[in-house]
Structure 1
Amino acid sequence: MKKMFLKLVLLCLCLWRLDGVSGEAELVMEGDSVSLNSGLTEMKDDDVIQWRFGDENTVIAEINVTAGRITVYDDVLDGRFRDRLKLDNQTGSLTITNTTTEHAGDYILQINRKIKRFFLNVFDEVKSVSVKEGDSVSLNSDLTEMKDDDVIQWRFGDENTLIAEINKRADRITVYDDVLDGRFRDRLKLDNQTGSLTITNTTTEHDGDYKLLVFTGFFSSKSFRVSVYEIYLKYVQIFEIGPINIFHT
């Protein structure tokens, strides 16, 4: 199931890259390390390389061979890269250790005047949520507010069936509550500010894996495992058998 999801993510990344953007896509699980390969076998004496991150192209690492200087700017961006960046002084490749979802995004490598681009997606661990049958459950996107060009999708089950979507570009909010034999009919609610999903009046049919795909300035995802449990009421019938005389006459 995880392999199927990774294939879906790779497909989404490829389709996204076709939209006028080129670069290499990298996938990593949260907590693991990832290396972004410069493609160099060794650096020349006059090489200057920079690694930049995000929409603001913030410089996070730099090598100036002429000056004999290797610098990592791991205190930028509120310190999200602190103690996590490693530069290979032979090739200029960048390794990010102990990744979190904050490290997902767009990386630019500039070698003198040449540019190379990377897209990094960091998968967080599956969040487990339990709910009593008949109650509601909310799956939190962790977004505070969606931007004008954001697109998010909620998918369910082994087949990654699309059940809900917000497309800010098209100003469209859609719940596909008739899919899967209508098990979600009249039960799905999307928060138009954050994209969080609420499932109301849950049944055991809603037990399973949910995936959130977020297309913002970069691609990210979240996974949830929802367990819906039934409540059984047990009745104990008490028979009145009368008083028992424990004394012998």
Structure 2
Amino acid sequence: MRVFRSRMMISHLCALILFVLSGVFGDTDVIKSASVTEGDSVALNTDVKMQRDDQILWMFGPQETRIAEIHRQNIYIDATNTTFEKRLQMDRQTGSLIIRNIRTEHTGLYKLQIISNRGTSYKRFSVTVYALLPVPVITRDSSHRSSPEISSGQYCSLLCSVLNVSHVTLSWFKGNSLLSSISVSDLSISLSLPLEVEYQEKNTYSCVVAYSFTNRTKHLNITDLCQPCSDSVQFCGSTEAVIRLVISALVGVATVAVVLYDITSGRAQ
């Protein structure tokens, strides 16, 4: 019986300790995530309504450097922290932290401490800042040869490219339908994705480079990039220009020869 009572007392004591710890440490294990691009603003919300005597403290990085605080409705922002360069702002009613014109160096863990007459609680926010997405570039791919099954048709080979990107997906769309895509994870590299379209096609195409939360789009203008070739010639571009130049040169040489012949004949007479 004594053993049973002892176990019950230990069980109640453990429950009491867990209850106290939950009130003191709050939701420490819950990390909210936010992903933004450079130049954007992000708000880290406390989800509380501040009382007069409440204290809210914001910390950043592995060293948990204090960067902003509200105590007794007085706002303190660390002006000596050059990492943020006057980008920080606090909401006086909630203590939420706003970071304006955010940069990649602001990627990291933000810790929030809330001290009130109800106890002390913590929240953590993981913020990831990505480089600004470039607009995809669409060019004609004159080095590409069509597959045999479509070599008899009038097709234009295109290439959509983006430079120095990471954690993105590059895709071709026909209207709202995905045609093809390619992805890159950690490394900062250049991506290219080919596409073949008919010269006289009226469908709308677009090339999209995207993070998981935002994207940038380049629409294809077939008329500007693709000019139909005659007969079985599929790649006008520079080849056609060279042919025209050679023909013009031959015509010029022939004209000069005729003129010289006329002059020589006149002198002989």
What TM-score does the superposition give when structure 1 sets the normalisation length? 0.52
User: Offset of 1:91 from its aligned partner?
Assistant: 2.2
For 2:99 and 2:188, the matched residues in 1 are separated by 29
For 1:64 and 1:101, the matched residues in 2 are separated by 30
- What pairs with 1:1-249 in structure 2 (closer than 5 Å)? 22-45=30-53, 47-65=54-72, 69-76=74-81, 79-112=82-115, 113-128=120-135, 130=137, 133=141, 139-141=163-165, 153-157=167-171, 161=181, 163-165=183-185, 195-198=187-190, 208-211=207-210, 232-233=237-238, 234=241, 235-236=244-245, 237-238=247-248, 239=251, 240-241=254-255, 242-243=258-259
User: Offset of 1:223 from its aligned partner?
Assistant: 7.1
Unmatched 5+ stretches in structure 2: 1-27, 144-158, 197-205, 227-235, 263-269
User: Offset of 1:97 from its aligned partner?
Assistant: 1.7
Aligned residues: 174
SS in 2 for 1:140: strand
Greater helix share, structure number? 2
Q: Name the CA shift for 1:31/1:164 in 2 (closer, same or farther; >3 Å).
A: closer
Q: What is the CA deviation profile of residues 65-88 of structure 1, one whole-angstrom value per residue up to 9, with x for unaligned ones?
A: 2xx642111432xx2311211122
Q: Cα RMSD between the aligned structures?
A: 4.3
Q: What is the CA deviation profile of residues 135-157 of structure 1, one whole-angstrom value per residue up to 9, with x for unaligned ones?
A: 9x78435xxxxxxxxxx755331
Moved over 6 A (4+): 220-225
Q: What is the CA deviation profile of residues 19-58 of structure 1, one whole-angstrom value per residue up to 9, with x for unaligned ones?
A: x96333334453333222212222331x222111233322
SS in 2 for 1:243: helix
- % identity of equivalent residues: 27
User: Offset of 1:114 from its aligned partner?
Assistant: 0.6
Q: Name the CA shift for 1:63/1:73 in 2 (closer, same or farther; >3 Å).
A: same
What TM-score does the superposition give when structure 2 sets the normalisation length? 0.48
1:174 corresponds in structure 2 to none
Q: Name the CA shift for 1:165/1:35 in 2 (closer, same or farther; >3 Å).
A: closer
For 2:215 and 2:59, the matched residues in 1 are separated by 25
Q: Relative contact order (alpha carbons < 8 A, sep ≥ 6): 1 or 2 greater?
A: 1
Q: What is the CA deviation profile of residues 106-126 of structure 1, one whole-angstrom value per residue up to 9, with x for unaligned ones?
A: 221111221012233445432
Residue type matched to 1:48 in 2?
Answer: Q
